[in-house]
Homo-oligomer: A and B are copies of this chain.
Amino acid sequence: MSISSKVREGIAASSWVVNIFEYRSPVVSEEKEVYDFRLGNPKIEPPAKFVEELKKVANNPFPGMHGYSALAGHIQAREAIAQTLSEERGLSFTAHHVIMTSGGAGALNIILKAILNPGEEVIVLAPLYLEYPYYIDNHGGVCCVAETNADFTVNIDTISAKITPRTKAIIINSPNNPTGMIYSGDSLKSIARLLNEKNRQFGKDIFLIYDAAYQDIIYDGNKVPDIFNIYSNTIFAASYSKPLSIPGERIGFAAVHPAMKNSGELMDALTFANRVLGYLSAPVLMQHVVANLQGVCVDRVEYQERRDMLCDALEDFGYSFTRPMGAYYIFPMIPGDDVLFAQGLSQEGILVLPGKSFGRSGYIRIAFCVNKETITNSLPGFKRVIERFM
């Protein structure tokens, strides 16, 4: 056997992810148009400020600009982020609480590498981002899934039941992929109370890893409660992929709570993990670029319009779902088997992912970060399929 057995299993379980990134379609008819709602790869272009900043940096080269940065990233980028965090959160972040990473996925991987001993457990809430189990397994951890309620709100009892003396961390992703849920301040506080209680019981400090990938993509004036003011043992993973619409550039950051015990040691561990996992440091050109783009974000109205186009129509057709509060996914409950339903849609040229892939069968995930005409043209197909299944 030439490749790793576990990797072979992983490939078998998720080879379809490769196809999604290549927009490969199972739709065989050449006459049929394809409406691809599978991948969170936005069709909205980056904000003009990003394009201008990139031009400015590229057109004004300076010595060493493409050389290695410090392993934790350029101090300018880290200071800019620390200042933004301090203003937003009312806490005293400095560059020493921030490390630049290769996107949100890079941040999550170095966090897990930094903290996990073999066999330690990480709790995730289902429905869940499908890569978490792989990220946890990369670093010898055990993924423990706690179900949320039927409406995707936090169920504190399922979380509590999963906490053991081996629990090292819980990952919270809000706004959530795939549900679009923003967990309420009360829900997060109940998680914090539970963790604090268990910390006392077990004499430890369970980390809360906050996956903030979609923190800037929010609708209807919703607010994302500030986790830093709720739980002090928080490690924050953020990304410029969504606000700047640059997911291919692999730039993000991790930040540790300024009041965390031993935050210096954790930062050293994150820096070590960034280095030895082969990232070394985040791509340096994008470090220069994002340093001057704090708070810049694509026009959220673009996404909200798409959400509403699709939600209004799906509601009419009889789809059952909660309108997403953030992120760019709708996660409707569908009648019957989700894999069969997704196959039914694919016969209409509509590509979505079955809920099963996110740990909850009976649902589908629709990524609406697509062109508006894709939405418009797909609607008759969405209608026909739900009618067939009802």
Q: Which residues of A come within 8 Å of B, CB atoms?
A: 2-8, 10-11, 14-15, 17-18, 21-22, 39, 41-43, 45-46, 51, 54-55, 57-59, 61, 63-72, 102-103, 105-110, 113-117, 131, 134-135, 138-139, 205, 207, 244-250, 261-262, 265-266, 268-269, 271-273, 275-287
Contact = CB atoms under 8 A, between A and B. Distances in A.
Contact of A269 (B3, B39, B106, B282): B3
B269 A7 contact: yes
A138 B249 CA distance: 24
Given A11-B272, A249-B283, A283-B283, A58 B61 contact: no
A18 B138 contact: no
A10 B277 CA distance: 12
Given A276-B131, A276-B138, A283-B283, A4 B269 contact: yes
B247 A67 contact: yes
A218 to B, nearest CB: 21
A46 B11 CA distance: 38
A63 B46 CA distance: 9
B66 A249 contact: yes
Contacts of A284: 248-250
Given A18-B271, A68-B247, A102-B102, A276 B58 contact: no
B283 A109 contact: no
Given A41-B68, A66-B46, A115 B3 contact: yes
Contact of A250 (B42, B102, B113): B102
Nearest to A280: B105
A114 B4 contact: yes
30 contacts: A2-B265, A2-B266, A3-B114, A4-B114, A4-B115, A10-B272, A10-B276, A11-B268, A18-B271, A22-B70, A39-B68, A45-B61, A66-B246, A67-B247, A102-B278, A103-B280, A106-B279, A107-B278, A108-B278, A113-B138, A131-B275, A134-B275, A247-B280, A248-B284, A249-B285, A250-B250, A250-B279, A250-B283, A283-B283, A285-B286
Copies in the complex: 2
A134 B68 contact: no
Given A278-B109, A278-B135, A8 B58 contact: no
A103 B262 CA distance: 32
A297 to B, nearest CB: 15
B46 A64 contact: no
A114 to B, nearest CB: 6
Contacts of A250: 102, 250, 279-284
Contact of A66 (B11, B115, B205, B247): B247
B283 A66 contact: no
B277 A138 contact: yes
A57 to B, nearest CB: 8
A46 B65 CA distance: 10
Nearest to A269: B3
A113 B4 contact: yes
A107 B108 CA distance: 19
Interface centre among A43, A247, A287 (most CB of B within 10 A): A247
Given A249-B283, A250-B279, A284-B249, A58 B54 contact: yes
Nearest to A54: B58
A59 B58 CA distance: 8
B273 A7 contact: yes
A22 B139 CA distance: 27
A54 to B, nearest CB: 5
A139 B113 CA distance: 11
B117 A6 contact: yes
